[in-house]
Structure 1
């Protein structure tokens, strides 16, 4: 998967130490609330044993016990310091086992694996009368052209029916234009990466013709003639989002493989070289093989991009802390607006130390 890191960037701007929790938030049985509290109690004890302070534990207590738990299977990811909860996100799939850690840098690799990449999506159910639209924020609305024109053609043709049919088709077109106008705004405003459209083929075609090229380019279609509303096609929406994620991941892995085959220095691999690129704010995409990352630690300075194997490699002085290499590198890349890719076993790519990076510009000897 490829992940934009804007949602964890605040972690690079916050003071630690940090508590990181990945827990099962499933709520599908009569005793689900009690089981949820028991799972949190176990994770809380782990944090306390690791040295978490009372203030941070209290912040998490309030977050866990005070939030509404969604029905069904779910996971939850939390990162907090002594002042507040910095990340709080529910996930569709619960973790195989809960994790809790305490340290100077958040435990970012587990939360990225649990949370996955979010694909901002707009969903539309379109028909001749208009559409039901769900924005990236989940808000539902009904859209039409406010036209009083007819939307149904005569069942049988007769003298003069041609003009009536033309008026009906004009109403269909105006309704499609109104829906397209609203969808375009929601796609732009929500920075959507996917537009899922349900409806019969003619209605979808009319909408597609009225959309801006940017919205039409991310459109995925669902054949439906039964007036399905957006919340009834969620399984298909998830499948379409999975396709977007896989396409992005595959593109990123291919980009790294291609760059690795050139001599222009725009791809590096191994902890020392990736850390040097992160210090230079040169990493466009960080690749991590979760099964191959070493258990080594990096030295991290006050600036989250100040990461190195040895403190002597850091230009700026000041206090330092030690953090697991993948977590330190993820935070450094997030701080400089880079993306993260978690590779999979079938990927045809070789990563020394389980890490690599595609660079914005060459760093070191290749410069």
Structure 2
């Protein structure tokens, strides 16, 4: 996860409120059951968040700003959530979450913004190109973390919108009409070439082929080997939601079926698991005895030293990391961090403050242009204490 966009959070020296909310439709139903005195459940929970922040020492203006923001968060039909960062009576960030936070909500008041949950709740899901194929043509849809949209234009203006449906919510926004005079083998090759072009144009990291088994296999076989590694095949459903005449009726069957949606979600989750395993494998290799831990750091003392020297390239955080809750001492500058209060004074700040280890290290990583990586793929191979780093350079 790119941490640089959160660097402005560290420009303020005042404490921060960090609130993570579940805004899914299922959680909204639970809100209504917790309402009291005839008041809406959402407002009831928002005020509970305000009371929790006040209990932790937050000022009244910031509590009020957070309550107003939490009370106005929209509900969605998909599992999702929002994170709110507020300080000095103002909301600085109000962002959507890809995954809902556990427990419905959490609220933290601390000197540094509590950004660590973002690594799990906003994973770097790849943009996904869904190609609905049959023997008459191909429809393309680009699915991102923000939703579905047009997959982009192709060369020669071959992508007319269908039936005037040009809004960003329509999956079938771009179509590739095959030459009926060609053999299916020729058409499959043409679809594969268009998929390659779309991957280049959109930067999609994942391709889902939806359609009948012979058509999927034929297109897959014509893709270059490097691209096949990010291709997943998914059969489409039995009936289409649009009731369109040919040639779109058959392909439309793969549009908004729960089965296809589940296949896309599973493909994305598998992508994240594979990436997590790859990052852990890199970490294990860098920690090998032959290299003497030169390319990686694990354990809070080693991470503190690497953060001071701006050597962290990727900060790894594992689930239930024991060291994440450990208190470190920090100063106003990201490189001012230490294991003990006396050490922090030697780093140039007369008034160091205590903060969670994960928040202190993430501040140094964000300001230093490093990435944060959630490594929840497997229990073994995690860094010592749940925190580790791949380093930019070694001595």
Q: Is the shorter-chain TM-score for this pair beyond 0.5, marking a shared fold? A: yes
Distance 1:17 1:180, change over 3 A: same
Cα displacement (A) at 1:102: 0.8
Cα displacement (A) at 1:280: 1.5
Query: Residue 244 of structure 1 corresponds to which residue in structure 2?
Result: 271
Query: Residue 340 of structure 1 corresponds to which residue in structure 2?
Result: 373
CA distance in 2, matches of 1:331, 1:178: 43
1:96 aligns with 2:110: no
CA distance in 1, matches of 2:56, 2:199: 49
* Deviations 1:253-289, CA, capped at 9 Å, x for gaps: 2222222222262222221210110122211222334
Distance 1:141 1:185, change over 3 A: farther
Cα displacement (A) at 1:206: 5.6
TM-score computed with the length of structure 2 as normaliser: 0.73
Q: CA RMSD in A?
A: 3.3
1:1-367 matches, cutoff 5 A: 3-6=1-4, 8-13=6-11, 16-28=14-26, 32=31, 34-82=40-88, 83-96=90-103, 98-127=105-134, 128-136=136-144, 137=146, 138-139=148-149, 140-145=171-176, 149-150=179-180, 164=181, 166=182, 174=190, 177-178=193-194, 180-186=196-202, 188=203, 192-205=204-217, 207-208=219-220, 216-224=228-236, 226=238, 227=251, 228-232=253-257, 233-261=260-288, 262-263=291-292, 265-289=294-318, 290-293=320-323, 295-309=325-339, 310-314=343-347, 316-317=348-349, 320-336=352-368, 337-343=370-376, 346-349=379-382, 351=384, 353-362=385-394, 367=395
Equivalent pair of 2:17/2:85 in contact (CA under 8 Å): yes
CA distance in 1, matches of 2:391, 2:379: 23
Cα displacement (A) at 1:234: 1.8
Cα displacement (A) at 1:47: 0.8
Equivalent pair of 1:74/1:92 in contact (CA under 8 Å): yes
Equivalent pair of 1:302/1:319 in contact (CA under 8 Å): no
CA distance in 2, matches of 1:15, 1:214: 48
Query: Residue 162 of structure 2 corresponds to which residue in structure 1?
Result: none
Distance 1:350 1:126, change over 3 A: same
Cα displacement (A) at 1:181: 3.0
SS in 1 for 2:57: coil
Q: Determine which structure has greater relative contact order: mean sequence separation of CA pairs < 8 Å that are 6+ residues apart, divided by chain length.
A: 1
CA distance in 2, matches of 1:21, 1:97: 11
Distance 1:143 1:349, change over 3 A: closer
Distance 1:125 1:81, change over 3 A: farther
Distance 1:221 1:296, change over 3 A: same
Equivalent pair of 1:123/1:230 in contact (CA under 8 Å): no
* Deviations 1:298-339, CA, capped at 9 Å, x for gaps: 22333334322231352x558643311111112222322233
CA distance in 2, matches of 1:48, 1:273: 36
Equivalent pair of 1:133/1:183 in contact (CA under 8 Å): no
Distance 1:19 1:349, change over 3 A: closer
Distance 1:210 1:105, change over 3 A: farther
Equivalent pair of 2:18/2:85 in contact (CA under 8 Å): yes
- Unaligned runs of 5+ residues in structure 1 are 151-163
**Number of residue-to-residue matches in the alignment:** 340
